[in-house]
Amino acid sequence: MSGRVAAVFGLAGAMLAGCLQTAQAREVVPFQNGVAPGSVVISVSQRKLYLVNGDGTAIRYPVAVGRPGKQWFGTKPIDGKYVAPAWSPPAEVKRDNPRLPNLIAGGSPHNPMGAAAMTLAGGEYAIHGTNRPSSVGTYASYGCIRMYNQDVVDLYARVDVGTQVYMTH
């Protein structure tokens, strides 16, 4: 099987797996926002992430967003991409949850970063998978964007370091 055919079957399989896990799985939807193709737009109020295709459509993914008082708005570029990253709780999270360890290894079922992460400039926030899929679609985080693991893997393959991320109301 050629690499191209395997990639198509792999993507189709990943999309099918995503559909089986949730009725709210990623889908291609009409999208007009005036941002460059390849940009990521996150709507906090909708709890959706849009990857802009440039043909009047976007891939829409369900996400968890920051809780009230923990949200941020504006534009930040992706500055790093990591597979199964380790996680160290930020000071605010550690203060609220002092029993958390200082480091949770990548791949651990207790690691809240899930399968992959894309960090945003400044290092304070990331778009990442989750070990709590039931939180997707809610206001759950300290400002990070949580995705189903199969969706963050899909997005990870589609974006590059430098991709602009727009956080909107």
At 46, which CATH number? 2.40.440.10
Distance of CA 64 to CAs 11, 24, 67, 143, 169, Å? 23, 13, 9, 9, 14
Residue 57 lies in a domain: yes
Q: What is the DSSP letter of 131?
A: S
Q: Residue 13: what pLDDT?
A: 42
Please confirm, yes or no, whether 110 is among the known catalytic residues: no
CA distance 93 to 154: 28
Is 128 one of the catalytic residues? yes
- How does residue 6 score in pLDDT terms, banded at 50, 70 and 90? very low
> Among 19, 110, 128, 169, which one carries the catalytic annotation?
128
Q: Is 15 domain-assigned? A: no
Range of the domain at 130: 25-165
Average pLDDT of the chain, as a whole number = 88
Tens of pLDDT, residue by residue over 29-71, are: 999 999 999 999 999 999 999 999 999 999 999 999 999 999 9
On whether residue 113 sits in a domain, the answer given is yes
In a domain, residue 6? The reply is no
For residue 159, being part of any structural domain is answered with yes
* Per-residue confidence (pLDDT) for residue 5, from 0 to 100: 37
**Res. 108 pLDDT band, cuts 50 70 90:** very high
Number of domains in the chain: 1
Hey, what amino acid is at 160?
Answer: D
pLDDT band at 25; cut points 50, 70, 90: confident
Q: Is the model's pLDDT at 9 over the cut of 80?
A: no
Per-residue pLDDT for 115 more than 50? Answer: yes
Q: What is the mean pLDDT of residues 75-80?
A: 97
pLDDT, position 24 = 60
Q: Would residue 153 count as lying in a domain?
A: yes
Give the pLDDT of residue 124: 87
Residue 17 forms part of a structural domain: no
Predicted pLDDT of residue 137: 97
Would you state the pLDDT for residue 163? 98
pTM beyond 0.75, yes or no: yes
- What digits encode the pLDDT tens for the residues 132-144? 999 999 999 999 9
